[in-house]
Amino acid sequence: MAIASASSVTSSVVKPRNTITVVDNRTGKSIEIEITNNSIPATAFSQLKAPYADGERTENDTPYGLRILDPSFINTAMIQSEITYIDGNKGFLMHRGYPIEQLAEKSSYLETAYLLIYGELPSKSQSDLWTWEIMHHTFVADDLQQMIRQMRYDSHPMSVFISAFAAMSAFAPEANPSLQGNDIYINNKGLMNKQIVRILGKATTVAAMAYRIRINRPFTPPRSDLSYTENLLYMMDHMAEPNSYRPDPRLAKALDILFILHADHEMNCSTAAMVHVGSSLVDPYSCVAAASAALYGPLHGGANEAVIRMLTKIGSVENVPVFLDAVKQKKELLFGFGHRVYRETDPRSKVIREVADMVFEVCGREPLIEVAIALKDAALKDEYFTSRKLFPNVDYWSGLIYKAMGFPLDFFPVLFVVPRVSGYLAHWKQQLESGKNKISRPRQVYVGKSRRDYIPVEARVERTITGQNGLTEIPHYISKRRLTKI
Cβ of residue 405: shortest distance to ligand CMC, in angstroms?
A: 19
Piece of the chain touching ligand CMC by CB under 6 A; list 86-94, 191-199, 239-247, 332-340: 332-340
Q: Which single residue brings its beta carbon nearest to ligand CMC? A: 338
Sites for ligand CMC among residues 381-400 (CB under 6 A):
388, 390, 393-395
Using CB under 6 A, pick the residue from 109, 323, 337, 397 that binds ligand CMC: 337
Q: Which is nearer to ligand CMC, 48 or 421 (CB)?
A: 421
**DSSP β-bridge partners for residue 94:** 85, 99
Least spacing, CB of residue 268 vs ligand CMC, in Å: 5
Question: Whose Cβ is closer to ligand CMC: residue 50's or residue 341's?
Answer: 341
Q: Please work out the total of residues on this chain that contact ligand CMC, with binding judged by CB under 6 A.
A: 19
Contact with ligand CMC (CB under 6 A): which of 211, 234, 335, 428?
335
> Which residues in the 460-479 window bind ligand CMC by CB under 6 A?
none
For ligand CMC, the closer of residues 278 and 336 by Cβ is 336
Cβ distance to ligand CMC smaller for residue 93 or 168? 93
Q: Is residue 322 at the binding interface for ligand CMC, with CB under 6 A as the rule? A: no
Residue from 42, 50, 333, 363 touching ligand CMC (CB under 6 A): that is 333
252 interacts with ligand CMC by CB under 6 A:
no
* Cα–Cα distance for residue pair 272/424, rounded to 1 Å: 9
- Scan residues 199-228 and list those touching ligand CMC (CB under 6 A): none
Judged by beta carbon, residue 209 or residue 379, the one nearer ligand CMC is 379
**CA angle 144–219–251, rounded 5-degree value:** 120
Q: Is 339 a catalytic residue?
A: yes
294 binds ligand CMC (CB under 6 A): no
Distance CA 232, CA 252 (A): 9
Closest CB to ligand CMC among residues 340, 350 = 340
Task: Find the binder of ligand CMC among 138, 163, 195, 268 (CB under 6 A).
Answer: 268
User: Least CB distance from residue 299 to ligand CMC, whole Å?
Assistant: 4
Among 214, 300, 376, 403, which residue interacts with ligand CMC (rule: CB under 6 A)?
300
The stretch among 107-115, 147-155, 195-203, 300-308 that binds ligand CMC (CB under 6 A) is 300-308
C-beta atoms surrounding 291 within 10 Å: 31
Question: In the bound complex, what is the minimum distance in angstroms from residue 431's beta carbon to ligand CMC?
Answer: 20
CB within 8 Å of 107: residues ≥ 6 apart: 98, 115, 121, 260
Q: Which stretch binds ligand CMC (CB under 6 A): 32-40, 296-304, 358-366, 451-459?
A: 296-304
Supply the minimum distance, in Å, between the C-beta of residue 422 and ligand CMC: 16
Instruction: Confirm or reject binding of residue 231 to ligand CMC (CB under 6 A).
Output: no
User: C-beta of 354: minimal distance to ligand CMC in Å?
Assistant: 19
Cβ 303 to ligand CMC shortest distance, Å: 3
Does 326 participate in binding ligand CMC (rule CB under 6 A)? no
Q: Residue 300 catalytic?
A: yes
Site of interaction with ligand CMC (CB under 6 A): 268, 299-301, 303, 327, 333-340, 388, 390, 393-395
Q: Annotated active-site positions, please?
A: 300, 339, 395
